Structure 1
Amino acid sequence: MPIKNGDFIKVNYTGRLENGDVFDTTDEKTAKEFGIFNESAEYGSKMIVVGSEHVLKGLDEDVVGKEVGYEGSLIIQPEKGFGDRDPTLVETAMVSKFDKKPYPGMRFSVNGRMGIVETVIGRRARVDFNHPLAGETLAYDYSIEKKLRGTKAKIEGLINLYVNSDLDVEIQGDTATIVIPYALSFDQRWLVSKQRIADEILTHTNLREVRYLEKYISTKVEKKDKNEKSAKKE
């Protein structure tokens, strides 16, 4: 069946600039080849909910109507990529606002916005708050690997998308309970993403409630388990 908005699918893709440089990919080998490999990133097919812009708008729209197994390419214009460059987003900031002496190419964050220092003259720095790829025409090669079916699989896919973790998910009636390990309770990605994960679960499934259950294990139990494992090895 053709892919439609709201479908949970897994895709593989590689994005290139007009000069051929790769700026984004789900393939580890390609990332290493083009010098953009990130040790903290997870490579392999990426789960997206079609129409939710988990990927660039141009790619998100292009998968609609395709079938699982599709392989193809597309060109994404700036308006459906990282947007056109906006001259008003190039601003002047006082050097005193920086934690350390600014220099061209330095990243600068203020009020939740990330910019790049272009020039520094005297006590003033010129900062570009446009996305680094704003105004760029992009080329994408992509394939559709599979479509996720079943509520539990979809929830697990969303969790992996946002926090790259495998969590226990239980579904009873119209309620999903997601077990949160103690360590994840303080993870910044989890704290930022948990509301959105719940919102997307409720939007894209027939569930009416999402419960997060934080799990704490006694250190006595952990020590007992370790001792039992050691005894078995002996």
Structure 2
Amino acid sequence: MSNESEADEAEQDAADESETEEETGFQNGDFIELAYTARTVEGGDLVDTTDADVAEEEGVGEDQEFEPRTIVLGEGHVFEAVEQDILGSEVGDTGTVTVPAAEAFGEFDDSQVRTVSADKIPEDDRYPGAHVDLEGEHGHVETIIGGRARVDFNHPLAGEDIEYDWEVLSEVEDREERAGALLAVFLDMDLDVWFETDTVEEEQLVESDEDDEDEDEESEPEYETVEVEKETLYIEATPQLTMNQQWMMGKQQIAQQLTNLLDVDRIIVQEELGGGMMGGMGGMMGGMGGMGGEDIEEALEDEDIDAEEIVEELEGAEE
């Protein structure tokens, strides 16, 4: 073997070894339970924490629950600098990383501090420090002099470098825990979830034998009904979910992310109504649809409804 070949082989071995080293520990796509506390570098002001004791010491969030978060690495659930610091780590590892202002809440922009007419601000908010929403922008009032107000539309933490202390508590492998954690990230609420493998009927295209086809004659595609198994994530609907703004505005995007991250075929949001079940998002409907004729008659009698009168009225309307 020539020296050149030996050198090439050694270089390849080194590259393979380097690649193997990079892939050890947690990687993108892994679900982990993470504890962290974030503070501003200048001043040490608390930005966020999962530690209830830290929150109590700081006197913040009396009505909030502080507990470790389940995140998916590579999905932007924490700042990228924090994710990069965690990659390759293992359960029990800790670290500290600084997120530059530009990658955190943005640099401070002087042009975002503007003078506006005080009349545009609700009367109850006309004082320094008040948080206001004006023409789709959120800001806080710096000063009010006469009929003019100075409003800062920068993020309150703009220009601040943020230091994160983190610890990986565990790897989350249970699928229901993963699903619940993702919904908590997307919607900031806890929901009951479960997985089932359902057998459903599906139309599939019948593959034709090209040798038997007449080249000059176009044939219509043929379909057949087959039974297939679908891995399904069920989410129990609640009034809180129905009214959740993030859910109402982005349910399709949330469903797509859940489908990809949890490797399921479909998602069904299911609501229980008076003993029946109503499904959504997966095209499932239950409840009355599963009742036989005698059951329906008994239900109508229980509600003191005359079925024959309804039929006669409908027939009269058709005439």
1:166 is paired with a residue whose SS is coil
In the other structure, the counterpart of 1:9 is 32
Q: Residues 28 and 44 of structure 1 are in contact (CA less than 8 Å); yes or no, is this contact kept in structure 2?
A: yes
Query: How far apart are residue 166 of structure 1 and its match?
Result: 3.3
Match of 2:60 among 36, 51, 63: 36
Q: Residues 89 and 129 of structure 1 are in contact (CA less than 8 Å); yes or no, is this contact kept in structure 2?
A: yes
Paired residues, number: 217
Once the two structures are superposed, what CA deviation does each residue of 1:100-152 show, in whole Å capped at 9, x if it has no partner? 25111110113443211112222222211111111111211110111222433
Q: Residues 21 and 34 of structure 1 are in contact (CA less than 8 Å); yes or no, is this contact kept in structure 2?
A: no
Runs (5+) with no aligned partner, structure 1? 219-234
Matched to 1:114, the amino acid is H
Q: Residues 179 and 193 of structure 2 are in contact (CA less than 8 Å); yes or no, is this contact kept in structure 1?
A: no
Q: Which has the larger radius of gyration?
A: 2
In the other structure, the counterpart of 1:99 is 122
Using the alignment, how far apart are the partners of 2:250 and 2:46 within structure 1? 28
More helix by share: 2
Match of 1:63 among 86, 100, 104: 86
Q: Residues 36 and 50 of structure 2 are in contact (CA less than 8 Å); yes or no, is this contact kept in structure 1?
A: yes
Using the alignment, how far apart are the partners of 1:112 and 1:157 within structure 2? 31
Matched to 1:198, the amino acid is A
Query: How far apart are residue 43 of structure 1 and its match?
Result: 1.3
In the other structure, the counterpart of 1:177 is 234
In the other structure, the counterpart of 1:165 is 190
Q: Does the C-alpha gap of structure 1 residues 177 and 88 become closer, same or farther in structure 2, counting only changes over 3 Å? A: same
Aligned-residue sequence identity (percent) comes to: 33
Using the alignment, how far apart are the partners of 2:135 and 2:84 within structure 1? 31
* Aligned-residue RMSD, C-alpha: 2.2
Q: Does the C-alpha gap of structure 1 residues 159 and 77 become closer, same or farther in structure 2, counting only changes over 3 Å? A: same
In the other structure, the counterpart of 2:289 is none
Q: Residues 38 and 49 of structure 2 are in contact (CA less than 8 Å); yes or no, is this contact kept in structure 1?
A: yes
Runs (5+) with no aligned partner, structure 2? 1-23, 198-229, 276-319
Once the two structures are superposed, what CA deviation does each residue of 1:37-79 show, in whole Å capped at 9, x if it has no partner? 331x221111112122222332233212211211121122112
Give the structure-2-normalised TM-score: 0.62
1:54 is paired with a residue whose SS is coil
Using the alignment, how far apart are the partners of 1:38 and 1:191 within structure 2? 28
Structure 1 ranges of 4+ moved more than 3 A: 187-197
In the other structure, the counterpart of 2:109 is 86
In the other structure, the counterpart of 1:128 is 152
Matched to 1:82, the amino acid is F
Matched to 2:78, the amino acid is V
Q: Which has the higher contact order (CA 8 A, sep 6+)?
A: 1
Q: Residues 181 and 216 of structure 1 are in contact (CA less than 8 Å); yes or no, is this contact kept in structure 2?
A: no
Give the structure-1-normalised TM-score: 0.82
Using the alignment, how far apart are the partners of 1:74 and 1:86 within structure 2? 24
1:174 is paired with a residue whose SS is strand
1:59 is paired with a residue whose SS is helix
Match of 1:23 among 32, 44, 47: 47
Q: Does residue 154 of structure 1 match 2:178? A: yes
Q: Does residue 203 of structure 1 match 2:228? A: no
In the other structure, the counterpart of 2:273 is 216
